[in-house]
Amino acid sequence: MVVLLGKTGSGKSATGNTILGRKDFISKKSSKSVTADIEKQNAAVDGWDVSVVDTPGLFDTQLTAEELTCEIGRSIYESSPGPHAFLIVIRVNDRFTEQEKRAIEILECVFGSGLAKHAIILFTHGDALEGNSLEKLIGGNRDLSRVVEQCGGRYHVLNNKSRGNRDQVTELMEKIDRMVEENGGSCYTNEMFEDAARIKEEEEMIQREEEERIQREREWIEKETRERVNMEWERFQRERIAREMIQRERRERERLKQDDKSCEIM
């Protein structure tokens, strides 16, 4: 099983069609995700029996990217066997922005460390390279280089406008086959997903506890500050009242002195 993951517009559906050699997935240029649900198609590809799973684009559904990725994970969890390969789809002519970084982080968070062992970075729109080196493109972006390195240095480029070029698909299938061999023939398992979910839950719990601790400290500091301000205000008020009393006493003494002088004159 091969699972396509990535942002809307990255070319996931077109990639699925290129691999299958037919137009099973709806693919068109759109700022909205064309794939609304998780779709699965099967085909014989160059001697391999392949199941291709197309998924909705991240950041472009009513669900958050995290919720959508969890839904994808749960759908895969219910499949048997699990995926032998995740193809993380990125357009060659797109800048690797903070949103791309966030998408990778979400995928890593939901699928855990098992994702990288079973992943290949798949660049689409290979025609946009226009003779430039893909290695130069990867090497010129530190974040992209890190992602490729995490995936064992595995990457591939497809030109979905040239579906008749089956050599590019054969080469991809050979890379997937080598990766599966490196993994001892194993696929991404339910246990890996469960471990990732457990780790994610533990990390979220630690984060909640840390946020609660920070909130308690903030409330304590605010309380201490309020009490200190109140004490300072009360001290200021006491001092003000004391000064006013002293001033009144001084004025009273002055008035009495004036009265005494008036009596002496008389």
| pLDDT on residue 210 | 93
Domain ranges of the chain: 2-189, 193-265
Q: What's the chain's Rg over C-alpha atoms?
A: 34
Q: Where is 254: in which H helix or E strand?
A: helix 190-265
| pLDDT on residue 213 | 92
Mean pLDDT for back-to-back runs of 10 residues, the chain (266 residues): 86 90 73 63 86 81 68 69 88 80 84 88 85 83 90 91 86 93 86 79 88 92 92 92 89 78 62
In the three-class reduction of DSSP (H, G, I as helix; E, B as strand; rest coil), residue 239 is classed as: helix
The count of C-alpha atoms lying within 13 angstroms of the C-alpha of 201, restricted to the half-sphere facing its C-beta, is 7
Checking 210-214 for CB contacts under 8 A at 24+ apart, the result is: none
Tell me the CATH architecture of domain 2-189: 3-Layer(aba) Sandwich (3.40)
pTM for the full model?
Answer: 0.70
C-beta separation of 116 from 149 below 8 A? no
Using left for φ > 0, alpha for ψ between -120 and 50, and beta otherwise, residue 174 falls in alpha
Q: How is residue 187 annotated by DSSP?
A: -
CA 187, CA 216: separation in Å to the nearest integer? 45
| pLDDT on residue 30 | 47
Q: Where is 51: in which H helix or E strand?
A: strand 48-54
In the three-class reduction of DSSP (H, G, I as helix; E, B as strand; rest coil), residue 39 is classed as: strand
